[in-house]
Structure 1
Amino acid sequence: MTYEKEPIDPLIAEWVRLETRRQFLRQGANALGMAALAALGGEAFAKPQISPTRGGQGAKYKTVPGALPKLHFAPKAKHVIYLHMVGGPPQMDLFDYKPEMVKMYDKDLPESIRKGQRLTTMTSGQARFPIAPSKFAFKQHGKSGMWLSELLPNLATKVDDICFIRSMHTEAINHEPAITYMQTGNQVTGRPCLGAWTSYGLGSMNSDLPTFVVLVAQPSNTDQVQAISARLWQSGYLPGEHAACSFRAAGDPILYINNPPGVDPTVRRQTLNGLKALNQLTYQTVGDEETHTRIAQYELAFRMQASVPELTDMKNEPESTYQLYGDAAKKPGSFAYTALMARRMVERGVRFVQVYLNNWDTHANVAGRLPSQCKDIDQACAGLIQDLKNRGLFDETLIIWGGEFGRTIYSQGGLSKENYGRDHHPRCFTMWMAGGGSKGGTVYGETDDFSYNIVKDPCDVHDFHATVLRLLGIDHERFTYKYQGLDQRLTGVEPAKVIKELIA
């Protein structure tokens, strides 16, 4: 018996034709680009160095290659732990010591310093801009002689492992565009973030866990938190598989990680096999790359049902671990717990761990709020550095700490020695790096006596990104992705430079 074929809707047929052609051209462009790259003469490319992963069971894991078949340089870092302090920490209260400001207490910020620079609407209408020196004492520490606030006594013991950048600056003055710019290299949303670019270029060191993970820590106080949008860790125009997997602070680390009641692993495996077959048929018909992403994500989710419980089970951590990070590391969701979890992740081959800690938006009551914020991070950050050292992971793990901008030396609103606030300040702020080939004991850049303008060695966001990629073995100018007819890159089209003084 024969049957007449059902006619295909002309609109669907046209869509399939155009979509398949689009995929062919995109894949062809990538193939031509790789052929041209391979044909470059005299280039010395270093192969990605992937060491055996040290997990809880000492197991080695299956790796998944990234888009770069060979790295442009021998990599110094294989993992990144990026600790983003949402809101903008006040640099002059923590890292950028300004003793001359004591003499300027309650005097107006000179116009010769401000130079007509843009202010936020929160202070632009103030009649005065009274100088508010830090009320916290500073001391020099380590062989480098780095000045550090009394609020960071534990981190002070690690200054010779840390590279401080005092001359960071940004174009953004409000939180959402500033965080987006710091994470993606562009104030406009929809671009891939640093973690997604790293996942895309380098691939996975453990196919049983996500390559890129996001953890949102809970601050000890929540006076003035900022919204943290999931679009900060999306993959933008890169394939969807390079978006971060977000772990929750409490309850199941990932929603629906466990099978529903009555569904055993065998049934789940059969279900996924059927879905995979259907998705493969869709891909053969349409050629959409995101169909492959869907297949990969289903398979990763299945493998994570075994790997994630072991990752998040802290019962085998010795008491010596909590002596490093502090007792707060026993509390799920705390920054210390999150820092410990980040170590466990890189130990098991997670490539990039992005951590967010909120409530650094100190528009008021700096003296009252800042001590608790510093208590959240001080011992945990020092403990993370030492823990990675103890496990032989420090040299291959780059730790990044910083916010989206700095704060003003003048007070927002009223001023007293016990209560002052600080507005957003994009002109200069401090970030630091440790491990992963960064040059410990280095202080890069210098600001004026007011911590308002940079007077030596500026470092903008694109310079910073270029330097991070260099530590990962990547040339930021040659690391591109074709989108909308352009070779897109993390560092954009404006000139950016690698800060060699930050590299060991």
Structure 2
Amino acid sequence: PGQLLLFTGTQQFGRPTLGAWTLYGLGSESQNLPGFVVLTSGVGTSGGASNFSSGFLPSHYQGTLFRNQGDPILYLSNPEGVTNETQRATLDALKDLNQERLSEAGDMEIASRIASYELAYRMQMAAPELLDFSKEPEHIRQMYGVDEEPTRQFGTNCLLARRLVERGVRFVLMMHASWDQHTYLNKSLKKNCDITDKPTAALIQDLKQRGLLDSTLIVWGGEFGRTPMVEIRNTSDPEIPGRDHHPLAYSMFLAGGGIKGGQIIGKTDDIGFNIVEDKVHVHDLQATIMHCLGFDHTRLTFRHMGRDFRLTDVAGEVVKKMLA
């Protein structure tokens, strides 16, 4: 439920996610790559595809998941014996049939299928260059930690995210898991920080030195925090204490496009249990993100089943203190 609320503005399944709303509202500057790309690392996320679903929006607004093992994108090469000309002719014939059915049925999912096939064809040309890091300078590879452990996987995703942004991809979602440390907090938290700290700093620095940070919004955080008190599930092991779920107070950081840096907004009580100053609800965060992307969050809507839906549902206020 926490992940759904963060990504869709509700705890119900079937709603569009932030990335899908963004692509729906802004489109993509890349014609040859997906406008919404998903990169994962670690053990994978419990929310699965619901974190990057298009919901009731047309399906071509859904996030495209790149694999984190083996080839990130499968089937970039034609089957053996199939030339580019043959593949193009096959796709053209399929497109004609789909267009005929679209004119009869008026089903926009058919239009989404046509668009997906065409994008996949163009990706065969663009994706190999995107995924080839051989021309990245050695100091950049070292900065992200792509050739060392424990930063290899997450660092590769951060470098790939920068390359996607450079090529006009509108929305990149990176998910690293798991931070659900009910046990072995000290060991597991340090492990996650060792994995993510260096590549995250590298991404911000790299975007800035390339002049891309002011036009790229970075949001880093999770769906809830952890309790200030220790959780002990097994008293026989002194190393096992962890922390339970805590949605009442937690932190996220934003950097880049539209954000005023160098400040802290919000304050908890002395033990970090409740917020006592400048509380920011998830809907407020979403409204602020949408504002930085150029939207009025109350007006970016989609009619579904007789009702206009939006990411922030019927709530959300832009947090003006965050804005540059």
Shorter-chain TM-score bucket reads over 0.9
Residues 199, 352 of structure 1: 8 Å contact kept: yes
Determine whether 1:315 maps to 2:139: no
Letter in 1 for 2:32: D
Q: Name the % identity.
A: 48
CA distance in 2, matches of 1:267, 1:462: 49
Partner of 2:250: 429
1:362 aligns to 2:186 (yes or no): no
Matching residue's letter, 2:322: L
2-side partners of 1:253 and 1:266: how far apart?
A: 25
2:200 aligned partner: 381
What aligned pairs does 1:227-376 form with structure 2 within 5 A after superposition?
Answer: 227-328=46-147, 334-376=153-195
* Offset of residue 257 of structure 1: 2.5
Mean CA deviation greater in 408-417 or 368-377:
408-417
How many residues are treated as equivalent by the alignment? 322
CA distance in 1, matches of 2:12, 2:57: 16
Aligned match for 2:32, one of 188, 208, 223: 208
**Deviation of the 1:227 alpha carbon:** 2.4
In structure 2, runs of 5+ residues without a counterpart are none
Cα distance in 2 for residues equivalent to 1:367 and 1:199:
39
Which residue of 1 is the match for residue 320 of structure 2?
Answer: 500
Greater radius of gyration (CA) = 1
Higher RCO (C-alpha 8 Å, min separation 6): 1
Q: Secondary structure at the match of 1:444?
A: coil
Quick check: 1:476 aligned with 2:300?
no
Matched, 1:189 2:13: yes
CA distance in 2, matches of 1:300, 1:327: 28
TM-score scaled to structure 1, two decimals? 0.62
> What are the superposed Cα offsets for residues 422-480 of structure 1, whole Å, 9 maximum, x if unpaired?
00001010000111111110100000111110000111111000000000110001111
SS at match of 1:364: coil
Q: Secondary structure at the match of 2:252?
A: strand
RMSD: 1.8
Distance 1:500 1:328, change over 3 A: farther
User: Does the CA contact (< 8 Å) of 2:6 and 2:223 recur in 1?
Assistant: yes
Confirm or deny: 8 A CA contact 2:45 2:175 kept in the other structure: no
Following TM superposition, the consecutive aligned residue runs of length 4 or more in structure 1 with deviations greater than 4 angstroms are: 327-333, 414-419
- Normalising by structure 2, what TM-score? 0.95
* Cα deviation code 1:93-120 (max 9, x no counterpart): xxxxxxxxxxxxxxxxxxxxxxxxxxxx
Q: CA deviation digits over 1:104-147, x for unaligned, max 9? A: xxxxxxxxxxxxxxxxxxxxxxxxxxxxxxxxxxxxxxxxxxxx
Preserved CA contact (<8 Å) 2:151 2:195: no
| Cα distance in 2 between the residues matched to 1:368 and 1:477 | 43
Q: Is the Cα–Cα contact under 8 Å of residues 328 and 334 in structure 1 kept in the other structure?
A: no
Cα distance, 1:217 vs structure 2? 1.3
Preserved contact between residue 335 and residue 380 of structure 1 (Cα < 8 Å): yes
Distance of 2:144 and 2:108 partners within structure 1: 42
For residues 57-84 of structure 1, give each alpha carbon's deviation from its aligned partner in whole angstroms, at most 9, with x where no partner exists.
xxxxxxxxxxxxxxxxxxxxxxxxxxxx
Residue 460 in 1 paired to residue 281 in 2?
yes
Structure 1 portions without partners, runs of 5+: 1-176
How far has the Cα of 1:326 moved from its partner?
2.2
CA contact (8 A) 2:144 2:151 kept: no
Give the distance between the partners of 1:230 and 1:434, measured in 2 at CA. Answer: 26
Q: 1:492 to 1:203 in 2, by over 3 A?
A: same
